[in-house]
Amino acid sequence: MLLAAEIKLPENLHAQAVVKKGGRDGLWEKTLIVSFKERRRTLATFDGLLDAMAAVNHAAHPLLWGNSMGGHKKVAKPYTDQVYEMVAADLKLDKSDIAKMATAADMDNLAVVTLEQKPFTVTVLATAGAKTNALRAGVDMSSHVEGEEQHGTINIMVLTNARLTDGAMARAIVTVTEGKTAALQDLQVPSSYTKGAQATGTGTDSVIVVSGITGPKASYAGGHSLLGSLIGKATYQAVVEALGKQNGFKLPAKTK
């Protein structure tokens, strides 16, 4: 049985969002699908630059990821490929029309944060888990090369009304990363690998940035811009909320 729950987005984003819930082998699968009526310039850390008709964040029970892999990392791709092919077929799209990311974090813990300050609107949709593979970039080392199983993952999707240049989308990913890392720092999330080290992310984090079609043109999305400030703040708030829901991380109580 497939259930769907709509997520209300600001009208000027010209996007529709829904979470579809189902199951496989008695374990849950939940997929966030953000779809567009026209092609949208998109930059994704998995797919790169594309003119997308939809952006997807697929979540599955941790045991389902493990079962699908069959104990060998090389068989993980058929599972994700099958999921994205099913989503594409449901949307009557080609798989190449979809910006994609995946996670083992529960989609019920999705955080949706919208910030608006004229002339810009920014919505961030984030899932987050950081209990098992949080790491500190520049300190922790890994021996994995390709196809590692999904563990804790921070997936962030950014929607805006601004008409972003390709450069602005690339800079937006930097701003998103800074906002995410600030949230991890304030939540005091530790590295899973180095005792006493502050985590800066997880080893499987993903970002999708989708350009708008009706707002002002933007060639810069760094923190010195209004647009970048909104992206950074919305990311921070969404990651704090998602990690609170998923892992129970809380901001320290403020002292008077």
pLDDT tens string 19-39:
999 988 888 999 999 999 999
Specify the number of domains making up the chain: 1
Provide mean pLDDT across the span 173-183. Answer: 98
Does residue 256 sit within a domain?
no
**Token representation of residue 45:** 């850390």
CA distance 32 to 185: 27
Does residue 102 sit within a domain?
yes
The single residue listed with the structure tokens 């850390």 is 45
Does residue 252 sit within a domain?
no
pLDDT at 81: 81
User: What's the pLDDT tens digit per position in 72-119?
Assistant: 444 445 677 888 898 899 999 999 999 999 999 999 999 999 999 999
Does residue 113 sit within a domain?
yes
pLDDT at 77: 57
Please say whether the beta carbons of 125 and 154 come within 8 A.
Answer: no
pLDDT band at 69 (very low <50, low <70, confident <90, very high): very low
Segments of 106-153 assigned E as strands: 111-117, 120-128, 134-135
Provide mean pLDDT across the span 120-142. Answer: 92
pLDDT at 145: 46
Across-strand partners of 58?
Answer: 31, 102
pLDDT at 227: 98
Provide φ and ψ at 96, rounded to 5°. -70, -10
Does residue 254 sit within a domain?
no
Please say whether the beta carbons of 14 and 213 come within 8 A.
Answer: yes
pLDDT at 141: 73
**Distance from the Cα of residue 116 to its chain's centroid:** 20
pLDDT at 70: 40
Quote the domain boundaries for residue 218: 3-247
CA distance 34 to 97: 12
Residues 6+ positions from 80 with CB-CB distance below 8 Å: 58, 100, 102
Q: What's 190's DSSP letter?
A: B
pLDDT at 51: 98
Does residue 56 sit within a domain?
yes
Burial zone of 181 (CB within 10 Å; 0-12 exposed, 13-18 middle, 19+ buried) = buried
The whole model's pTM is what?
Answer: 0.92
pLDDT at 71: 42
Does residue 106 sit within a domain?
yes
pLDDT at 24: 85
Provide mean pLDDT across the span 215-242. Answer: 98
Does residue 211 sit within a domain?
yes
Task: Give the angle subtended at the CA of 155 by the CAs of 32 and 18, to the nearest 5°.
Answer: 10
pLDDT at 241: 98
Decide which of 75 and 133 is more confident: 133
Task: Give the angle subtended at the CA of 161 by the CAs of 163 and 86, to the nearest 5°.
Answer: 95
Across-strand partners of 112?
Answer: 125
The single residue listed with the structure tokens 């045991």 is 63
**Token representation of residue 248:** 């129970």
pLDDT tops 50 at residue 150: no
Does residue 25 come out as left (phi exceeding 0), alpha (psi in the -120 to 50 range) or beta? left
Q: Is 33 helix (H, G, I), strand (E, B) or coil?
A: strand
pLDDT at 219: 98
- Give the residue among 147, 159, 143 at the shortest CA–CA distance from 55: 159
- Give the residue among 150, 149, 111, 115 at the shortest CA–CA distance from 127: 111
